[in-house]
């Protein structure tokens, strides 16, 4: 049994399928952790969601987390006031994949899928999350606790789990202990991901977002999978 993590698929279903079926060769004994951002930017967000649902229906062990793009999509479908933010962040491509012009016209089963997404998953010494953890808390908490801001519990800040960036310098190592945080959200070049992999025993953090949709950026344009059981990385070039 392996624990496999993939993040930031962004509508690239052909790449996602090839990574799982040709490289990882996922089995029903494996546990697959999908860390969010299934939709937007790429050509077939609907296809990505359909493929995830197919895997679940076929009794593969899949745990799906919520990324900021699912959050924007869900809010846009529920409130017209939320649509502009989503549409300028890849939502137009997602609407096109559904063949609709209005976020409210996205079929209910996809919105129900997003509504049921988890914010994080913790298994043994692994913490899976989309963007990261907020170790500092918000300004109100900081005022109340003074210099004891590290009393803040990062697992309570669900919004940061979808949105936070540049948080490594704030890690509370006493709280983290020997656990490893696996996340995406902030695209990294292939070399940077390998550097994090090589230093994982010290840093205890790895960002596996290789900017799959960003095909024109050097070192990006691939979808990455992290085998946390065998400590291995897989990379699939964008074929969408």
Confidence of residue 151 (pLDDT cuts 50, 70, 90): low
Which is nearest to 78 in space by CA: 102, 101, 100, 44? 102
Measured distance CA(78)–CA(49) in Å, rounded: 19
Average pLDDT, rounded, for the chain: 94
Which is nearest to 71 in space by CA: 88, 52, 86? 86
For residue range 200-237, list pLDDT tens digits in order.
999 999 999 999 999 999 999 999 999 999 999 999 99
Sign of the dihedral defined by the CA atoms of residues 9, 11, 17, 22, in that order:
negative
Mean pLDDT of 85-110: 98
Mean pLDDT of 188-198: 98
**pTM confidence score:** 0.94
Strand 126-129 and strand 31-34: the pairing is unpaired
Q: Which CATH architecture has domain 3-131+175-237?
A: 4-Layer Sandwich (3.60)
Domain extent listing, the chain: 3-131+175-237
| DSSP of 46-84 | HHHHHHHHHHHHTT-EEEEBPPHHHHHHHHHHH-GGGHH
- pLDDT at 79 > cutoff 80: yes
Q: Are 184 and 208 in contact (CB under 8 A)?
A: yes
134-138, 161-165, 174-178, 233-237: the lowest-pLDDT one = 134-138
């Amino acid at each position: 049994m392996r624990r496999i993590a993939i993040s930031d698929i962004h509508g690239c279903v052909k790449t996602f399928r090839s990574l799982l079926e040709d490289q990882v060769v996922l089995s029903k004994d494996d546990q697959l952790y999908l860390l969010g951002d299934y939709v937007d930017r790429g050509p077939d967000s609907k296809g990505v969601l359909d493929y995830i649902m197919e895997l679940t229906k076929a009794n593969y062990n899949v745990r799906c987390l919520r990324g900021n793009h699912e959050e924007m999509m869900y809010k846009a479908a529920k409130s017209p006031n939320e649509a502009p933010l989503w549409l300028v962040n890849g939502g137009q491509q997602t609407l096109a994949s559904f063949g609709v012009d209005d976020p409210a016209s996205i079929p209910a089963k996809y919105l129900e899928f997003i509504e049921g997404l988890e914010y994080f998953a913790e298994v043994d010494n692994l913490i899976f999350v989309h963007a990261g953890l907020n170790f500092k808390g918000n300004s109100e908490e900081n005022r109340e606790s003074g210099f004891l801001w590290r009393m803040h519990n990062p697992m309570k800040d669900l919004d940061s789990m979808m949105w936070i960036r540049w948080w490594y310098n704030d890690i509370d190592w006493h709280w983290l202990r020997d656990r490893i945080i696996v996340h995406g959200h902030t695209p990294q070049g292939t070399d940077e991901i390998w550097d994090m992999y090589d230093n994982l025993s010290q840093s205890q953090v790895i960002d596996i977002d290789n900017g799959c949709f960003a095909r024109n950026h050097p070192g990006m344009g691939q979808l990455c999978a992290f085998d946390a059981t065998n400590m291995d990385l897989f990379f699939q070039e964008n074929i969408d």
